[in-house]
Amino acid sequence: MVTGWPNMSNPADDTFFFILGISVALLAMNTGIMLYFVYRYNRKRHPQAEEVKENVSLEVLWTVIPTILVLAIFFVGWKGFQYMRTAPPDAMIIKVTARQWSWTFDYANGKENNVLKVPVKKPVKLLITSADVLHSLYIPAYRIKEDAVPGRQTHLWFLPDQLGSYDLFCTEYCGVGHSAMITKVEVMTQQDFDAWYSGTQETAEEAAETKPSLHAAAKKAGAPVPETGARLFQVKGCVACHTTDGTPKIGPSFKGVFGKQETVIRNGQERQITVDEAFIKQTLLHPETDRVKGFPPIMPSQQGQLTDKEIDEIIAYIKSLK
């Protein structure tokens, strides 16, 4: 699927082109008058300067016309704003959580994803919040943008009128992983969406993540399995800073890290530790305690973000990355 711009008439575009039209007309008019004056009042033609006394009709004109223009711009903008703030009552509601540094989309049936999948031609209402700092959700293709504020819910809506895949990203600087806070809106046919939504058919990417598992037995017994950890690694945003192929990114890579000797810094003192379950758990919940040498102290605490079971699943995943 391609990333593109749907051809929709959008109130934001209408307002933009309305203001642009007025600006171009005024620019042309001002430039024209200026050139005419340069010619008309040239020193050769007009050697003696004259004082211009008041001209009531001119003053009325240059007060009334700009007032009308400004009110017209306000009116067009206000109509567009009303449209953008008022979701149709039948809109599908999806909850959005922004966090350092990923997006999570929660659907009414409990489905959770980090790509915003929606059916085509159905209005979608987003209820947005943040788990940590200020972020801002931006979908340029639909001309919408709204802050994600911790402890507060904001909203937006849009009508995905064409199939395709469109960028969705964070547009408010939120820390070192800000530029990684990018995902897609995937507009699917109603049929594909229903199949995905009801879970009868997995998309290719998910099928790859949760392949028929060797750990089915463990899963049944409720033990942590790396597959769930792998999903959390994506959904909870670890992927923004950590790789699984051995390349250090903003933080250390997860590959082969379990059981490794690392130099950590606590209160300015260096010491050696072995990366084990306890260390990973401590780093998830209290990342400030021991920082791995050579990396910036920016790991956000996952306290309240991850359950104990999820922490075990992430540990199982890290262990599996030999």
* Collapsed DSSP state (helix, strand, coil) of residue 85: helix
Q: How far is the CB of 102 from ligand CUA (least distance, A)?
A: 9
- Burial of residue 187 (number of CB atoms within 10 Å: 0-12, 13-18, 19+): buried
Site string for ligand CUA, 88-107 (x = CB under 6 A): ----------x---------
**Helix residue ranges per DSSP H, the chain:** 11-40, 56-85, 190-197, 204-209, 216-221, 226-235, 277-285, 308-320
- Measured from the CB of residue 193, what is the shortest distance to ligand CUA in angstroms? 27
DSSP 250: S
Choose the binding region for ligand CUA from 40-48, 88-96, 169-177, 199-207 (rule: CB under 6 A).
Answer: 169-177
Select from 2-10, 26-34, 166-174, 187-195 the region that touches ligand CUA (CB under 6 A): 166-174
Q: Is 249 in the site for ligand CUA (CB under 6 A)?
A: no
Calpha distance 128→95 (Å, rounded): 6
Is-contact 227 215, C-beta < 8 A? yes
25, two tokens: 């007309």
Q: What is the DSSP string of 9-75?
A: --HHHHHHHHHHHHHHHHHHHHHHHHHHHHHHT-TTT--S--PPPP-HHHHHHHHHHHHHHHHHHHH
Residue 300 beta carbon to ligand CUA: minimum distance, rounded to whole angstroms: 11
Q: What binding mask, one character per residue, do residues 117-156 give for ligand CUA by CB under 6 A, x or -? A: ------------------x---------------------
**Least separation, in Å, of the C-beta of 242 and ligand CUA?**
17
- Contact segment (CB under 6 A) with ligand CUA among 88-96, 170-178, 187-195, 208-216 equals 170-178
Applying CB under 6 A, which of residues 126, 139, 141, 181 lies at the interface with ligand CUA? 181
Shortest CB 76 distance to ligand CUA, Å: 30
- Does an H or E element contain 124, and which? strand 124-130
Residues that bind ligand CUA (CB under 6 A): 98, 135, 170, 172-174, 178, 181
